[in-house]
A and B are shown apart, each in its own frame.
Chain A
Amino acid sequence: MNKLICAMIAIAFASATPLSAAETVVIVSQRSPLTRMFPLQAAQFFLGQSALFTAIDQADNSPIRAEFYLKAADMDAGQVKAIWAKLVFTGKARPPKQYASSAEVKRAVAADPKAIGYIEKSDVDDTVKVILTLH
């Protein structure tokens, strides 16, 4: 029942705020030495394969999150969750911290030279640096 309500809300949201046209970009702090990155390289920080950069994630059920993992790693939410289940329940790693909006992701990324995040292209400003555009 809960799931049904969630699905209905998601549909209501989708129709209220069309996001399909938005492009997703991977961002780092202006102070980061990074200049560009491939989609798979970006994905590894969000999937526990490397801790060289600190992944800053979007909210679990946000459309941009689904789009990021689909475009960067060709994975849906279930596949991503299965990978993290393996890392979390062996006590080896914890999933990236999630932030409720692109504005919060941008703020967290701007503040940390080691952070990496992703937001809509239209939300980019000069506090962050775009290193990858996902198509």
Chain B
Amino acid sequence: MKRLVMLLLAASCSAFAETSTNGISVSGFGTIGAARSDTDKAQFVRSNQAEGVADTAKIGLDSNLGLQASFEFNDVVSVTTQVLTRKSTSPSYTTELTLALVQVKIDDELNLRVGRMGLPTFLISDYQNVGYANTLMRPPVEMYSQTPMETANGVDFNYQHAFDSWNFTAQGLAGVSRGKLFRSGTSDTPTFRAPVVALALGAQVGFMTLRISHLVTNFTSKDNVGLNHIVTALENTGFAQLSSDMTLTPGKKIAFTAIGLTGKWLNIVVQSEYGQRRNKEQSPISDTDAWYSMVGYRVGNMLPYYSHADFKGVGSSVPLPANFATNALSSAVRGVLASAAQSSDALGVRWDFARSVALKVQVDRIKPTVKSGTLIDGPPAGLRGTVTVVGATLDFVF
């Protein structure tokens, strides 16, 4: 009897990431966090985020909640839906549909999916909001702010093949990404529509994965009020070519290419990535390069880590005409074409102190060099100097 009671109690303690009844699984992930910086001159934000942190502590920067339900019809067909609540392009919490897909298992190595899914743009793009699945407190903003595209409606395949002690993976995706663009210093939040084609290839040996990815999009934004003003003004002042270079209606072809390494070897944990954004035709979006490198060393259930990241513009695809005078319009054009730049260092620790819960503490030292870097609401001339951001989060899955 005593044993039975213990067994029942032990069973009720099971906190696994899925509860399954009749093929239906309900699970979730989330982060509760607080962060602040040491300046009131600009706000530190995540990629495409409308409200970040300045010199008072706030919970909106990192806190989120994802709920997922999936249903297995049989061994071949399943459906998955996921909603994510967080502060994104609006200063208040919003909930968006991040997964809504049907998965068909073709054989042991190949899966096809149809519906809404995460984009594989960079190494951690499709799980960047799952704090528990990551070592770093937040995706390095230098890399991940290169694109506002997170999900797409479309189709993809995932192929997995083992060869000797190697595992090879391939993911190919075609779809249309839609979303909003937060624009610092303006009240409008234009929408975008971006047909995408992407391919990601991975090679894994032991617990180290090397991954390369390439994504091409035709990026369109019709209701971009600020940009459309410039485009119209250029057309009205006789700069027809520049006007068509600067518009995002019709869309412009942009490519993202990345190579990344992630995994563990003995007690050493690494995650390192280089990624670039390149215009394939004249567009107002600048070409950029970004990279980061994180290394950690596991001691029991503690994982202290250090990361360095860098992001800079590498030019514009738009040639300015020789007779382009210096006036308000030309400085507006130059302002749009110039990319921000910054580097940062992060020092942190992840502590897996309880089942399904991890505590992270991270200090970031951010050095904006052009246009306040990735910070928003900075001074007109751009913020210089070092900004320190301190954060603590609890990441959990259930």
The answer to whether A85 and B130 touch across the interface, beta carbons within 8 angstroms, is yes
Taken together as a complex, chains A and B put the C-alpha atoms of A23 and B298 apart, in Å, by 26
Taken together as a complex, chains A and B put the C-alpha atoms of A50 and B99 apart, in Å, by 23
The answer to whether A94 and B352 touch across the interface, beta carbons within 8 angstroms, is no
A60 to chain B: closest residue by CB: B16
Taken together as a complex, chains A and B put the C-alpha atoms of A41 and B207 apart, in Å, by 11
Q: Which of B3, B17, B101 is most buried by chain A, counting CB atoms within 10 A of its CB?
A: B17
Which of A12, A74, A89, A90 contacts B6, CB < 8 Å? Answer: A12
Interface assignment of B204: CB less than 8 Å from any CB of chain A: yes
Interface assignment of A103: CB less than 8 Å from any CB of chain B: no
Residues of A contacting B204 with CB < 8 Å? Answer: 49
Taken together as a complex, chains A and B put the C-alpha atoms of A12 and B9 apart, in Å, by 12
A49-B13 contact in complex given A13-B6, A88-B18, A90-B127, C-beta closer than 8 Å: no
Interface assignment of B356: CB less than 8 Å from any CB of chain A: yes
Residues of B contacting A41 with CB < 8 Å? Answer: 165
How far in angstroms is the closest Cβ of chain A from B139?
13
The B101-133 residues at the A interface (CB cut-off 8 A) are: 101, 103, 108-109, 111, 113, 117-118, 126-127, 130, 132-133
Residues of A contacting B108 with CB < 8 Å? Answer: 51-52
Taken together as a complex, chains A and B put the C-alpha atoms of A92 and B3 apart, in Å, by 39
A85-B17 contact in complex given A40-B206, A50-B167, C-beta closer than 8 Å: yes
The A1-42 residues at the B interface (CB cut-off 8 A) are: 2-3, 5-6, 9-10, 12-13, 16, 38, 40-41
Interface assignment of B70: CB less than 8 Å from any CB of chain A: yes
Which of A6, A74, A91 contacts B99, CB < 8 Å? Answer: A91
A45 to chain B: closest residue by CB: B162
Residues of A contacting B66 with CB < 8 Å? Answer: 89
A49-B160 contact in complex given A3-B354, A78-B301, A82-B133, C-beta closer than 8 Å: yes
Interface assignment of B397: CB less than 8 Å from any CB of chain A: yes
Interface assignment of A73: CB less than 8 Å from any CB of chain B: yes
The answer to whether A91 and B162 touch across the interface, beta carbons within 8 angstroms, is no
Which of A61, A79, A82, A95 contacts B13, CB < 8 Å? Answer: A61
How many residue pairs bridge A and B at CB < 8 Å?
116
How far in angstroms is the closest Cβ of chain B from A86?
4
B15 to chain A: closest residue by CB: A60
The B227-286 residues at the A interface (CB cut-off 8 A) are: 264, 266
A85-B6 contact in complex given A5-B13, A51-B108, A78-B301, C-beta closer than 8 Å: no
The answer to whether B301 and A5 touch across the interface, beta carbons within 8 angstroms, is no
The answer to whether B355 and A89 touch across the interface, beta carbons within 8 angstroms, is no
A86-B133 contact in complex given A3-B355, A50-B162, C-beta closer than 8 Å: yes
Residues of A contacting B109 with CB < 8 Å? Answer: 51-52
Q: Which of B70, B207, B354 is most buried by chain A, counting CB atoms within 10 A of its CB?
A: B207
- Top 5 nearest A-B pairs (CB, nearest first) are A78-B352, A6-B13, A86-B133, A85-B133, A91-B80
Interface residues of A (CB under 8 A from B): 2-3, 5-6, 9-10, 12-13, 16, 38, 40-41, 44, 49-52, 59-61, 73-74, 76-79, 81-86, 88-92, 94-95, 98, 100
